Homo-oligomer: A and B are copies of this chain.
Amino acid sequence: MSGASERPLRADAARNRARLLDVATEVFTTRGVGVPTEEIARSAGVGVGTLFRHFPTKEALLEAVMVRRLEDIAARTERLAADAAPGEAFTACFRLVVELSVGKNEFARALAAAGVDVHASLRGPTEQIQTRLAELLAGAQRTGTVRPDLGLAEFIALLAGTGRALEQLGPEPEPRERIFQVVFDGLRPR
Contact = CB atoms under 8 A, between A and B. Distances in A.
B178 A168 contact: no
Contact of A149 (B147, B170, B178, B186): B178
Contacts of A105: 164
B161 A178 contact: no
A96 interface: no
Number of copies: 4
Given A106-B109, A113-B31, A113-B32, A153 B169 contact: yes
Contacts of A188: 185
Contacts of A147: 182
Majority-rule SS of A interface residues: helix
A80 interface: no
Contact of A161 (B161, B175, B184, B185): B161
A151 interface: yes
A179 B164 contact: no
In this complex, the interface size class of chain A, counting residues with CB under 8 Å from chain B, is 35 or more
A190 B181 CA distance: 10
Contact of A182 (B164, B167, B168, B186): B186
A110 B150 CA distance: 34
Contacts of A160: 164-165, 167-168
A166 interface: yes
Contact of A169 (B157, B181, B186, B190): B157
B157 A168 contact: yes
Contacts of A150: 178, 182
Given A157-B165, A164-B105, A169-B153, A182 B178 contact: no
Given A183-B186, A186-B186, 11 more contacts: A105-B164, A149-B178, A150-B182, A153-B169, A154-B175, A158-B182, A160-B168, A161-B168, A161-B179, A185-B190, A186-B187
